[in-house]
Amino acid sequence: MMWERGIAAYVGLGHSLQTNHNYLQLARSYGYTRLFTSLHIPEAESKLLLADFQEFIADAVHLGYSITADISPQTFAMLGANPSDFSSFKKLGLSAIRLDDGFSPQQIAAMTATSGLDIEINASTITPATLQQIYTAKADLNRLRACHNYYPRPETGMSFPLFTERCQLLRDYNIPVLAFIPSRSCPRGPIFAGLPTLEKHRLICSQLAAKELLASQLVDGVLFGDPLVLEDELAAVAALNPSYIELQVKVVADISTAEREILFAPHTNRTDPGEWVIRSQEARKICSAIIPARIAMPRPLGAVTIDNQDYLRYMGEMQVVLSTLPADPRVNLVACIIPEEKFILNYIRPGQAFRLKEFVAHES
């Protein structure tokens, strides 16, 4: 699947052009391709915004970013343009404009047809009626994208059920959707509480927030809403692979070489998994040595097990436990999903590719 990674950077908030350039360059080195910025941040210094914005965007274009600017109807006046004139945005080098609010469905449809830009609608506030009106007004759906809001104030981020509903609506129209994840290292002022789309992501690490959005298959990519994210966060999110779900595990002390070989191989949940377990369809074929029985242990939620030689032809079978199971002398407990990632197990569907990674305490 296509999976976009993006950052946000802003002018008029006290960051120098050189500071922004260094950040854009760093993120680009980790494969980030989208840049979100804004032409209507209330706390930005508007005079500096206009003075520096053109140079900032030119730099981002040179570095190879696809750039979206958040706008409102007032942005046209700030640029000295009328609401049907998009030449100012195109000259700047923008790829897309995101319509935060204040635009009718008919205006949005007209923009997709005449602006020459991709038009991003607000995925957080879209309703079936509004989207149908945009569609009925003969919008060019090839030019229509969607991007969720971010929410600076704690307790105001979206719930996951509402987020799912809005994303699925856009999915039904084949409209690409992006969402924001917060930075724990560099939250943006003036609230300094992160810029997530989902309230549940406000206080978790950025990689785990991105991991959930990737696993949910509800969006086509993620954007850091906060600017100047530190390198370790950029690297952690960049490391996620859209072709499989990755889960971190703590390994038991006496794991054998054969068990380790099975544990860290690529896996796919069987298309007919059990009610209580995820079953690797590859593990038994990977098994290359006898796996002796060890002391049987109870199997809690998130336990990773490998069947030993006493399970006969099932030797080498690897499972991830979804519901607490009792000890079984034919089954070796070899690892456990780390507690904060256990909820990701809910996203491993039948036929879903997944991999396990050994947990290292200092990682984000």
Greater pLDDT, 45 or 278: 278
Helix (H) or strand (E) holding 258: helix 257-263
- pLDDT tops 90 at residue 215: yes
- 363 assigned to some structural domain: no
Select from 189, 215, 243 the last residue of a domain. Answer: 243
Residue 352 sits in a domain whose CATH number is: 2.40.100.10
Both 48 and 147 in one domain: the answer is yes
Both 33 and 62 in one domain: the answer is yes
Both 220 and 254 in one domain: the answer is no
Greater pLDDT, 254 or 322: 322
Both 185 and 235 in one domain: the answer is yes
- pLDDT tops 70 at residue 21: yes
User: Mean pLDDT across the stretch 296-309?
Assistant: 98
- pLDDT band for 364, please (50, 70, 90 cuts): very low
Q: Name the CA radius of gyration of the chain, rounded.
A: 24
Cα–Cα distance list, 4 to 47, 178, 188, 336 (Å): 32, 8, 22, 30
Both 193 and 214 in one domain: the answer is yes
Greater pLDDT, 299 or 363: 299
Select from 299, 294, 360, 364 the least CA-distant residue to 332: 294
- Summarised one tens digit per residue, pLDDT across range 109-141 is 999 999 999 999 999 999 999 999 999 999 999
Q: Which letter does DSSP use for residue 152 in this model?
A: -
Structural domain count, the chain: 2
- Summarised one tens digit per residue, pLDDT across range 319-348 is 999 999 999 999 999 999 999 999 999 999
- 364 assigned to some structural domain: no
Residue 83 sits in a domain whose CATH number is: 3.20.20.70
Both 30 and 128 in one domain: the answer is yes
Greater pLDDT, 28 or 46: 28
Taking each continuous run of H as one helix and of E as one strand, the counts in the chain are 11, 15
Structural domain range at position 250: 246-358
